[in-house]
């Protein structure tokens, strides 16, 4: 890969997510050469993907060009590529566009949807971890409504309007809330000849509560909010298969559905050559020490979702969310500079800023460290925090305009089938 040689040590970061970008920013204007590799040329603000899927936001406003984030940093290089393999002995990375030597390597490759090895579910259900996936889901939802209009078979129409969301974490809950609002606000206007009552939204949760990582109050209130919106929550039910028509479970329950969203888990994206059994742990994450060093290496690190840093409070690693990723990225930036200057590194300490989820209009649940609240105020807090953390002034403006519009008009205008999903897989 044609990265110019430099007298500065070269730090290669794989992945431009929350962790990778936070780290790169920390390294700016320092005496290091930074090479960031990503298969997309943009950073994705994943917490708002569900709004892209449900027509509330345009994809462009929750993405941000990576080159632009880092444009003022000298010694910074971005390359758009897949990473295929890492040769740790030779400190060499193999990519689609050539090899690259590193002095320090940071794996920030993030996570992907975990289908737990069920290839039939993987083939037929929708994931929502990237912008193209979210756009596919948007197309599918709209295509299914169009198709529901055409069929004279009532069972088929019911299946086309029956949404099954597997997993009651923040993603599943927020998506369910948005779909419930579409059912209430948009369906009757856009499809006056469809019986809106047929549209059903189901969350299937394997354990006995939704929003498992949050407080009991948040979980109960979220359930309450969802039920008021008409969402069915099926607890202690585990999905066993989905053949493209019927969702089967470990109980007698089955669901005929044309739209199944798999939000039941994620797993780390490991890279060949850096996938030894000794450090690949639960959920395909890489076990790291308190300095985010991967076991057995002094110059290879992992941060964000892919990293599993075990602590007393979090024996399975930190939750796979934005906050731990950003904090690890920032801390590692400092530690790398310390390491290069032969100063001691500081152990990572996670500052838990809490968690939140929104369940549609005026409804959210927020768990801060000392203060937990639900309802309208929580909803404002949710919006403010998301606007604040979104990268880019233009994105914030456009998202703000959309949110105000959607709120005032009870609408979501980005309901466009720009790239049909069904046709594509048929043709």
Please state the closest distance from residue 239 (CB atom) to a copy of itself, in A: 29
Where does this chain bind a copy of itself (CB under 8 A)?
Answer: 1-2, 4, 40-42, 58-61, 63-65, 67-68, 71, 77, 79-80, 97-98, 131-132, 135, 142-143, 146, 149-150, 152, 189-191, 193, 392-395, 397-398, 401-402, 405, 409, 411, 413-419
Q: Which is nearer to a copy of itself, 197 or 419 (CB)?
A: 419
> Which of the following is catalytic: 112, 143, 174, 312?
174
Q: Which is nearer to a copy of itself, 141 or 237 (CB)?
A: 141
Q: Is 174 a catalytic residue?
A: yes
Please state the closest distance from residue 276 (CB atom) to a copy of itself, in A: 30
Please state the closest distance from residue 289 (CB atom) to a copy of itself, in A: 35
Q: Which is nearer to a copy of itself, 58 or 275 (CB)?
A: 58
Q: Which is nearer to a copy of itself, 276 or 397 (CB)?
A: 397
Please state the closest distance from residue 120 (CB atom) to a copy of itself, in A: 23
Please state the closest distance from residue 197 (CB atom) to a copy of itself, in A: 19
Q: Which is nearer to a copy of itself, 134 or 358 (CB)?
A: 134
Q: Which is nearer to a copy of itself, 4 or 344 (CB)?
A: 4
Please state the closest distance from residue 407 (CB atom) to a copy of itself, in A: 12
3-state secondary structure the chain: CCCCCCCCCEEEEECCCHHHHHHHHHCCCCCCEEEEEECCCEEECHHHHHHHHCCCCCHHHHEEEHHHHCCCCCCEEEEECCEEEEECCCCEEEECCEEEECCEEEECCCEEECCCCCHHHHHHCECCCCHHHHHHHHHHHHHHHHHHHHCCCHHHHHHHCEEEEECCCHHHHHHHHHHHHHHHHCHHHHCCCCCHHHCEEEEECCCCCCCCCCCHHHHHHHHHHHHHCCCEEECCCCEEEECCCEEEECCCCEEECCEEEECCCEEECCCECCCCCCCEEHHHEEEECCCCEECCCCCEEECHHHEEECCCCCCCCCCCCHHHHHHHHHHHHHHHHHHHCCCCCCCCCCCCCCEEEECCCCCEEEECCCCEEECHHHHHHHHHHHHHHCCCHHHHHHHHHHHHHHHHHCCCCCCCCCCCCHHHHHC
Question: Could you give the residue numbers annotated as active site?
Answer: 174
């Amino acid at each position: 890969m044609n990265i110019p040689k430099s007298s500065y040590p070269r730090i290669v970061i794989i992945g431009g997510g929350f962790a990778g970008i936070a780290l790169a920013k920390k390294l700016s204007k320092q005496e290091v050469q930074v090479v960031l590799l990503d298969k997309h040329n943009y950073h994705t603000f994943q917490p708002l993907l569900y709004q892209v899927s449900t027509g509330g936001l345009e994809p462009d406003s929750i993405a941000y060009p990576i080159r632009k984030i880092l444009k003022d940093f000298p010694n910074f290089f971005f390359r758009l590529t897949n990473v295929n393999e890492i040769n740790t002995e030779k400190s060499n990375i193999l990519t689609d566009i050539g090899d690259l030597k590193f002095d320090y390597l940071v794996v920030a490759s993030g996570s992907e949807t975990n289908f737990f090895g069920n290839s039939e579910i993987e083939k037929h259900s929708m994931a929502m971890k990237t912008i193209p996936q979210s756009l596919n889901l948007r197309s599918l939802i709209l295509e299914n409504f169009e198709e529901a209009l055409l069929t004279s078979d009532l069972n088929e129409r019911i299946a086309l309007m029956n949404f099954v969301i597997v997993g009651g974490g923040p993603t599943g809950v927020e998506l369910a809330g948005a779909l419930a609002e579409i059912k209430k606000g948009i369906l009757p206007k856009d499809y006056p000849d469809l019986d809106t009552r047929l549209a059903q939204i189901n969350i299937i949760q394997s354990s006995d509560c939704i929003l498992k990582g949050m407080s009991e109050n948040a979980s109960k209130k979220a359930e309450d909010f969802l039920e008021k919106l008409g969402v069915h929550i099926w607890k202690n039910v585990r999905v066993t298969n989905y053949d493209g028509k019927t969702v089967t479970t470990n109980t007698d329950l089955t669901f005929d559905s044309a739209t199944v969203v798999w939000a039941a888990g994620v797993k780390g994206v490991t890279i060949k050559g850096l996938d030894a059994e000794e450090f690949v742990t639960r959920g395909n994450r890489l076990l790291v020490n308190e300095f985010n060093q991967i076991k057995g290496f002094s110059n290879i690190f992992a941060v964000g979702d892919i990293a599993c840093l075990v602590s007393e409070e979090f024996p399975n690693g930190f939750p796979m969310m934005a906050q731990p990723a950003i904090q690890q990225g920032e801390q590692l930036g400092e530690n790398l500079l310390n390491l290069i200057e032969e100063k001691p590194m500081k152990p990572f300490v996670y500052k838990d800023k809490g968690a939140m989820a929104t369940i549609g209009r005026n409804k959210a649940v927020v768990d801060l460290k000392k203060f937990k609240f639900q309802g309208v105020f929580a909803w404002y807090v949710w919006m403010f925090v998301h606007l604040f953390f979104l990268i880019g002034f233009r994105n914030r403006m456009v998202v703000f305009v959309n949110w105000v519009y959607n709120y005032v008009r009870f609408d979501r205008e980005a309901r466009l089938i720009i790239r049909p999903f069904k046709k594509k897989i048929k043709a």
